[in-house]
Every structure is written in C-alpha cells, then in structure tokens.
Chain A
Amino acid sequence: MTIFNFDAFVNYLFNSFLLGGVGVTIGLTVAAVIGGLCLGMIIALMRMSGKPLLAFPARFYIWFFRGTPLLIQLVVIYAGLPLFGVKLSVLQSALLGLILNEASYMAEIVRTGFLAVPKGQTEAGWSLNLSRRTIFWRVTLPQAFRLMVPPLGNSINGLLKATSLASVISVEEIMRRSDLLMQEQFQVLEVYAAATIYYLILTSLWDLVQARLERRFGRSVNATTASTTSLSFLRR
C-alpha cells in the first residue's frame, strides 16, 4: 500500500456516487434548517409566552433534546418508533431526528434574539395602535432576526456536519457513501479526504450566504459591525 494515492483521491473527488451524497447532505440540511427554525420559533414563543402551560413543555423539550446525543435520538426514532406502530423510512427518520434536535437549539437562538430587542420598540408599536400581529412581524421579528443570524449561522454550520450521523441509520449522504466506497478498496484516507473537501466546500458556501444575510439585515445599522464568519479573512 502506498502512503497516499493522489490519483485515487482525485477520482473520489469527482466520483458521481459521492457527489450524489452531497445532494443528500444538502437536502437534509436545508430541510432540517427550515423545519427546525419553524418548530424552534413555535417553541421559543411558547417559552416566552409567560403562560406556564405553554412554557413548561417548551422548557422540557429544550432540556430533553439538547441534553441527549443526536446519535441516540436518530437510532431511537429509527428503531424505536416502529414498536409504537410508527414506521418511517430511513430518510424520514433522519429528517425527523434532525428537525427535532435542531429545533431545540433554534428555539434558544430565537428566544435570545427576541429578548435583545428593547421593550421600547413594542411600546412604540402599542402607542401607534399597531396590532399585536403587526408588532411581531414588522417590528420585533426583523430586529430579532438580525441578532439571530450569527448564532443561527453557527448552528447551521454544525448541522451540515451533524447530518453525517444519519449515516448510522444508513442514509446515503456524504459520510455513508464514503464508507461504502472505502469498503471497496480500503483507500481510507483518499476517500475521507475527498469527503473532507466536500464538507469544507459546503460550509464555505454557507459562510458566504451568512455574510450576505448579515449585510442584508444589518443595512440599517452603522457599518461598524464587522462580519463574523470564518471566511471574512479572505476579503481583507
């Protein structure tokens, strides 16, 4: 065996089977972000509602899903739910697990964002006779969202890589397909180096999206707030 077969590495880099896994990873991430954000928003609003009947289940949810490993959650959903008559496909199980898990983190990010919007903003809305709905959608949410972008970016970056755990229940994303290719020729380093490159490309692309989002929602704020993504060093 040679030390590192560069040609094999390049072959894996352009391997269509592995590229297909990239699509699955992106799909899982995007779906989990959207689902997690929606569910997380609801849980955050429940927790901030001031009504114990809503706040307590929200706290419990966050405590449970942030307090247990995603790996266990995925396995329990895939192997455990059928015992209760709920049979989900591998992909459905992975998606459900990722959404449930991500929502617990998103809920805390959403909550932090809303808490950081000054009370005077809501009071101004009241004084202008705005409806509760308008105050939420037009006044507090946009301001909270600007504050949520950097931590959300962090969470989404983590999620991109956490999708690799779905390989354990045999979802064919980047990691699982790397495993399968590796077992053909046992070129461990070459395959995983290719997978590494894919993950780096994906997280870098996300960094660019995040920087755009920060600029878009920070328009009104003085240009003193520097971009916080890890790629910002490239623009200097």
Chain B
Amino acid sequence: MAELFIEIFGEEIPARMQLAAEKRLADGLAQALKDAGLEGDAPRSWSGPRRLAVSIAGLAKTQPDLNEERRGPRADAPEQAIAGFLKGAGISRDEAEIRSTPKGDFLFAVINKKGQDAEVILPAMIRDLLMQFAWPKSMRWGRSRQRWVRPLHRVSVVFDGKPLAGELPLGGGASVPFTASTLGHRMLSPQEISLKGGDDYDQALNAHQVIADRQTRIDMIAESMASLTKAEGFTVMDDDGLMAEVAGLVEYPHPIMGQIDDSFMALPPEILVVSMRSHQKYFAVSAADGTLAPRFITIANMAPDAKRDAMIRAGNERVLKARLADARFFWDQDCAQPLSENVAKLTGITFFEGLGSMGDKAKRMASLAASIAGMIGADADAAQRAGLLAKADLVSETVGEFPELQGVIGGYLAAKDESQAIAEAIAGHYRPEGPSDDVPEDRVTIAVALADKIDSLTGFFGIGELPTGSKDPFALRRAALGVLRLIVHNKLELRLKDVFALAAQGYGFDKASDALIPFLHDRLKVWLREEGIRHDVVAAVLRLDDPRHDDLIHLCRLAQALADVLETEDGQGLMAGYRRASNILSAEEKKDQTRFDGGVDAILIETMSDLAEVRAAVDAAKHVAPDLPVFATLSFDTNLHTMMGVSPEQAVVELSAMGADVVGANCGRGFEEMETIATKMAEARPEGALLFMQSNAGLPELVGADFVYNGTPEGMAELATKMKSMGVDVVGSCCGSTAAHTQAIRSVMVS
C-alpha cells in the first residue's frame, strides 16, 4: 500500500476560500482515484494562506485489471448505433463478438484491460484535477492561461515516499514541474524543505515556522489569547468568524495584546469593536464585569521575539489610534445635532425604485408601528416616534463609515433626546437578523421591528419583487422569518391580514399581495419542522382555508396540540380509525368509480349497542363538529333489546339526553321487529326528539352460497308508510337494501 501526497504552494489565498478549497481538493482527489480503481483511505488535508495539501494513504500501486463485458445493439442495428457502441467500448468491429440471444443476435464487447501502475496514471490525474479546479474567483498572472486563485508557484507530489514527476501546464509555453519540496515561512524561514508525505508534513513545516494544520493554529491562538488576558482578569470576546479568518491569514500565529488609548473608551463600545474587527481583524477583550476592556489582540504572523513584538504592538496601537480618531470624528459630528434632524435628509435616499424614499418609509413605519402597538398592548406614541426615527441613523456619518452599526448608532443618538423605550426600539428594530439572533421582547421594539419588516414585505411583494430560487436580494425571507420569530417568541395574537392591509394602505396599494400569507406559511413550515413537528401535522395545520390562518401563534399552538394528541394512545387510535375510514372510502370510490368528496352533512353513529359508547361518540362528534347534526342509532337484535340489554324506550330517552339530534334504530331483524321497535320509541320519545328508523331489507336467506334479503321494495315502502304515520321523522334503509328500496322509501316520505 502506498500514500499519495500533494502540496500546492502559491501566493496568499483569501482566508475565506481556504477551507472550502481544502475540502474540494481532498474530495476531488479521492474521487479521481476511485474512478481509476484506486480507492484509498479517507483523505487528510491541510490549508493555510500559502498552501493546500492532501494525503491519501492505503492506495494500491497498480490499478486492478479490468474484465468487462458489454452488450451492444443488435447485429443488424443501423451503422451509427454500432459505431457509437464500438467507440464507447474502445474496440474495432472485428473485435466485437456476435452472440445469439432469445431476442436476436447482439454485438458484445469483451474488454480485458491490464491495470496500469499508479505512477504512470497519477501525473495526468493530478494535472487534470488542478486544471479543472474551481475557485469562487480566479485570475491569470504573467503570461499564464491557466487560472488559479492567486499566482501558483509549486506543486509538490510524493507517491509511495518518492517524488513523482509531472507538470502542470500554465499555457503560453510555461509550466510548473512537480517537485517534492516546498518553502518555509516567508520571512522567518524561506528555505527549501523536502517533503516525504503526509505523516511528517506537520513536523517538517513546523521546523520552518509554518503550522500547517488549521485547527492547531486555532488552538494556538485561543490558548495564547487566554493566557495574555488572564493576568488582568480579562477575557477574549468570542468571535468564531474572526477566528476562522485570522487562522487563514497566518502561517505562524502569534497573538500580541495592545492598549486602546483611554480617550476612546467613552465612545459606544460597538464602534470600537467594529472598528477593530472589520478594519483591523483584532479581537476585542472584555473586563470581568462584561464591559469592553481597553485592550485589543492582533494575531501576528511572526514567531515571538520581545523586540519585534514591541515594534508590532506599537505599530498596531498607532494604527488603531488613527482609526478610532476617524471614528470619533464621525461620532462627534453625529452628536452635534439631535437624531430627529436627520429625518428630513432621508427623503434624499431611495428606499427602492417604485417604493419611495427612506423618508417615505420612515413615515409609513411610524404609522404602522403605532397601529401594531395598539394591537399588542404597546405604547403607541412611543412606537410611532421610534418608527419615524428608526432609519434616521442611515444618514449619520458613523453609519456611513460602519454600515453594520445601523440601528445601534441610532439608539445611542436617540438616547440623548428621546425616551429610553424609543432609543431601545430604534437600536433593536432590525432584530432578529439571523436565525440565531436574539428576539426583542420589549413591546415598543417589537412593534417597530414588525413595522419595518412588514412594510418591506408588503412593498416588495406589492411591486412583484418576490424572491426566486436562491435569489433574495432584498432579504425578504429573512424579514419574514423575523416577523415569524417576533410573533412566536412573544406569543403575539396578531391577525397578519389586518397588518398587511394597513401596510398596503401606507403605500397606497388597493390591497396587500395575496402571496404574503403563503410566504409566511412557508417560513412557518420550515420553523415547525425544525421544532420537530411532523410534516403531516404541519401540512394539516397550515391551511389557507382556516379562518385564522393569518394568526401564526394560533397555528403554532394548533400544530403543537395536534402533535401532542397524536403522541397519545387515543391519538394513535384516532389515526388508525381515520386511516381505516379513509381506506374504506378510497376502496368504495374505486369500486363505484366516483369520488365521495361532497363534504359532510351530518355525523351518523350507527349499529351501536352500549349507551356509554354512544355517549363517547356523541361527545366527540359535538366537540369536533359543533355545527353538524348528530344521528345516533342502536341495533336491537336480541329479543327487542340491544346486545347490551338496552330497550328501545330507554334508548330514545337517553340518546336524546346525550344531545344527539336524531335518534333511533338501525339494522334489526326484519320489517316486523323494526315496526315494533318504532312503535315503542315513538311512544317513549321525549318532546323535541327526532326519530330515525333504518331497517334491513327484510331477513337474509341463504341462496346457494350467497345471502339474499327477502324484503322487496314494496315491503319497504309499506313499512315506511307505517312509520311515517307513527311520526318517525327520518326513514332509511340498512343491510340488503338496493337503490330500488331507497327509491321506494323516498316516494313514500316525500309525497
């Protein structure tokens, strides 16, 4: 077994692209090897600013021999089909065999290919892999035709512990020959390092001030930062995104801590943090009480050295000072006048072509926030004011410089002249921004946050700018998810149709787009699924014909209730019963070649014998369908009693008392007994009870192998006539009846 090791060395790869490229290289190589019949162990891989590397061990040194038989077209197939087959199989016409099969004579190709040595096929495989390697953004350099993310200088290839010859053509006559050596740290150790494979790669580079393994670099940074801050009782503010980035900017990570000049500590801490993070890629540090400490940490790409460290620290401190002086200049400008003065300038910024200016949006938000505040019990005046001012920081100098601080800056500026609630609402109105961002809980903030998002959704939907596929340039999915999370987290019983209608009025639209609620349902669907709700429950709940389908918290509760009940034994039983009914219906539909989809007119509980069971069924029917009439009938087939000993007189009284709208008997033992039962029930029925009799078509008789009911339609009509005269309100038919029987009853009852 052998190992294949490749390192690609070049100029600095953008940090954000490294990890994905490392994975693409590892996967691509593993796949190419597999396609060549050389499957190895799982790949190991490395990436950093100047290199990508991959190692795959456990490879055979020779491809397996290939013995393959392929069936082709019929021997008398058109020439083109035969030529295609021969070409695909790589054989000539003479080499193809003709074999007789029960379906005719067919061409067969028998391919016996001797496996090649891996050494022979690998150079071209690696060359092709690199030539086709995809980067999110690539470039040419010098006279190259080949593209790479930045100029590529070396390709080192080691197979089975030995250098593997080959080359990567760059175009224009130039190429990069494969070597088995690389270079160390650019400044600290720029000499040649010979490579032997993946096992000693880390060690070989380590000796030249390069930490090849990304996770090792991250661990070094984390440990070193922890020890730097520990002495003063400080901690580093976690920032995974920044950590991932700096791990891609350095080959030898060396955190150095510096001081933030005290004069800047009065600035809003967010300004300091953003300034340090986005411009300088510094980690921020917090003091024991959670406030920002006057420290920053830069991750240098040099080994520790007291003199050099001091120089690097001083340089970075000076840079930060200049950055923060700039930031303070903007902040002081902004503080010179109240935030409210910015509102007038918002008319100069377009919100979106066709949707007016930011000034228009501010006015709409003010009015909508006030309305929403009324619906959710928030201070409407505060919401209106906050809505009007929420976007005012967009024309501030500070947000011009640090767009990611929109909202936050408005909050700080508002705090000078406005109430605490208004300032808080302005600061928080963009939230929740991501799926993991905290959801505001303050009522005024909620009103403004909803107004902002609902205004945008209504506007963009109103002019047909809907997200399509992966394209969502106005982040409307995020806005909809924000609306959903604000409502669900705060359990707001908000009728969105009303809110969208108000928002549409704000734009002067006739009405809000019909696509809005379904769009929110789509988000809710995903959200419920993530909450672990079964997809069939979600589908059952998210129905546009539910009169409260625009009340998201209602839908959530419904979904939860349904999911809960389905977990219980009763729920399982209900599902089983429903499934059975549904299966029966499908079977009947198939048999009758029709669809029974006319809806439900009444609920019929029939052929019952135990009153407690009937009670349970009636209760359930009244609960799920309070508006539908309930029919309940018993079957008196045991000496004019039910199997459980209930008499017709008792039945008619008790069934009525249960709340069944129509009571009576069904099935039974022939016309005569049914007549007797009807008489007893008619005599005993309480006032107001409606009577219902459903007799079988006489009694069954065995004729040959089949049961045949002996009652004729005429007999049925005669019984119906008697029942009608007794005052029975509804007459139906039961076992053995045909359409003719029903017709006969109808003619009696309707006449």
Same complex origin of A and B: no
Interface residues of A (CB under 8 A from B): none
Interface residues of B (CB under 8 A from A): none
